[in-house]
Amino acid sequence: MPLLIVGCFGITLFMKSSPAHRTALYPGTFDPMTLGHLDILKRASRLCDKLVVAVAINRSKNPLFALSERVEMVENVVAPFRERIDVEVLPFEGLLIHFVESVGANMIVRGLRAVSDFEYEFQMAGMNDRLNPDIETVFLMADPQYQTIASRLVKEIARLGGDVSQFVTPEVEIRLKDKYT
């Protein structure tokens, strides 16, 4: 039975085991990676020995950036983390739990912005637990300054000529401008 812990800094769903070596997997489309994603990534890096950032190929979405561009942007964002933690950026397609198993991760990290995120993510965590009860799911609450940031909204603001500098890194801001000019 999972244990749900609600605290000031997040909601955590702990599954059965607590292995000494923790490899966390942070999945997402990252189209583009926002400062909200970066915040979750920073905080997740403190919970594990190795962090795999899984850049999803989601055929139901029509990404603005090609997979190779998204992987490259994430690689650039995680570069500073490599001084203190083993970080790997990999593309993936298919069932998340299978990918988690294939890279040897024992933890899935998910960011939550609102109650609506929690309902969906809690259901997914439960399904993943049924598929592999040895994989933990950890929910990290978005920092309040990032709770309203969504990649789709950032793209819309950029498309309409708005300033996205408070939502993304300078590199991503330049790439968005290049896409929309």
Binding site for ATP: which residues?
Answer: 29-30, 37, 111-113, 121, 146-152
59 is catalytic: no
Binding site listing: 29-30, 37, 61, 96, 110-113, 121, 146-152
17 is catalytic: no
Of 37, 43, 70, 175, catalytic: 37
Task: Report the alpha-carbon distance of residue 171 to residue 175 in Å, rounded.
Answer: 6
Task: Report the alpha-carbon distance of residue 130 to residue 167 in Å, rounded.
Answer: 36
In a 3-state reduction of DSSP, which class is residue 119? helix
Of 43, 45, 70, 151, catalytic: 151
21 is catalytic: no
Q: Which of 54, 47, 94, 49 is nearest to 70 (CA)?
A: 54
Binding site listing for substrate: 29, 61, 96, 110
45 is catalytic: no
Of 22, 42, 50, 113, catalytic: 113
Task: Report the alpha-carbon distance of residue 177 to residue 64 in Å, rounded.
Answer: 12
Task: Report the alpha-carbon distance of residue 164 to residue 166 in Å, rounded.
Answer: 6
List strand residue ranges (DSSP E) for the chain, in order.
3-7, 10-14, 23-28, 50-56, 86-92, 107-112, 136-141
Of 16, 61, 82, 177, catalytic: 61
Give the residue numbers annotated as catalytic, written as ranges: 37, 61, 113, 151
